[in-house]
């Protein structure tokens, strides 16, 4: 099976440098159809069985009312599970644009079960869970502040629980600016391994120096191949592809 993880940055495109990112900040208020179409075409070409998409827009005026979740799913004839990344009652649920921001799991088979968990700490708290294709997939986007991330990872431990031999994937933008070292306690408690064994950087696309995106897997998953696509620059993050079998 093939799992694709990608932070698509709301299909706002890929800056060429830090300064270019600042000069083109208006793209977060109004994005181009072209950017999303290129993301959609790339994901379709990869032909994943399961896709975890972080920073996806489900129809704000920034996306010109296009529901990116639905369009991605329809382009592959896949099923979609989506949730806002902000917890119920939060300001993010009420503000324009923000209330359309979330994460999604797409899959060729319909999910046997799905659930939106919300962490105790942070502004964006979503942990999206989907049981699909024989795998429990958890998709996350953690906080920028390290102190908050530490608390969120402890929360995430309780949600993921004791993996045992069950097939589990935990993927997302962990914002771990110190790299995999920030995840050691989480990995010790869950028994999850990082598919990115060589610690290839995933951010930013114009000069990748930081490993902040991760795909973690349980002993129930046997990895065939893992790739960070450094040739794909459609966002400020690089996409990650995991080919695997179930033990």
Average predicted confidence (pLDDT) for the chain: 92
* Residue appearing with tokens 């490993």: 211
pTM above 0.75, yes or no: yes
**Rounded CA separation 201/222 (Å):** 23
* Residue appearing with tokens 């097939």: 167
pLDDT of residue 34 exceeding 60, the answer is yes
Residue 54 per-residue DSSP state: E
The mean pLDDT of 151-174, rounded to a whole number, is 90
**Rounded CA separation 197/11 (Å):** 28
Q: How confident is the model at residue 27 (pLDDT cuts 50, 70, 90)?
A: low
| Cis upstream peptide for 204 (omega within 30°) | yes
Number of C-beta neighbours around residue 113 at 10 A: 10
The mean pLDDT of 54-61, rounded to a whole number, is 93
**Rounded CA separation 57/180 (Å):** 28
Q: How confident is the model at residue 21 (pLDDT cuts 50, 70, 90)?
A: low
Tokens standing for residue 136: 């429990």
Convert 29-61 to b/e letters by CB count within 10 Å (16 or more is b).
eebeeebbebbbebbeebebbbbbbbbbbbebe
Convert the pLDDT of each residue in 204-241 to its tens digit. Answer: 999 999 999 999 999 999 999 999 999 999 999 999 99
């Amino acid at each position: 099976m093939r799992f694709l993880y990608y932070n698509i940055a709301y299909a706002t495109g890929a800056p060429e440098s830090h300064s270019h990112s600042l000069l083109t900040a208006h793209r977060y208020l109004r994005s181009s159809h072209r950017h999303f179409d290129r993301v959609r075409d790339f994901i379709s070409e990869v032909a994943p069985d399961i896709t975890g998409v972080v920073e996806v827009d489900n129809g704000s005026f920034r996306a010109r009312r296009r529901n990116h979740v639905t369009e991605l799913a329809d382009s592959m004839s896949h099923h979609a599970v989506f949730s806002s990344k902000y917890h119920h009652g939060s300001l993010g649920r009420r503000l324009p644009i923000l209330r359309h921001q979330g994460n999604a799991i797409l899959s060729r088979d319909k999910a046997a079960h799905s659930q939106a968990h919300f962490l105790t700490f942070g502004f964006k708290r979503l942990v999206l869970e989907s049981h699909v294709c024989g795998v429990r997939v958890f998709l996350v986007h953690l906080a920028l502040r390290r102190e908050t991330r530490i608390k969120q990872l402890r929360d995430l431990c309780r949600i993921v629980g004791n993996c045992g031999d069950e097939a589990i994937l935990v993927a997302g933008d962990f914002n771990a600016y110190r790299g995999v070292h920030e995840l050691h306690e989480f990995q010790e408690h869950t028994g999850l391994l990082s598919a990115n064994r060589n610690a290839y950087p995933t951010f930013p696309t114009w000069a990748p120096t930081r490993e902040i995106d991760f795909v973690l897997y349980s002993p129930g998953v046997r990895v065939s191949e893992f790739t960070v696509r450094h040739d794909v620059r459609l966002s400020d993050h690089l996409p990650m592809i995991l080919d695997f079998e179930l033990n």
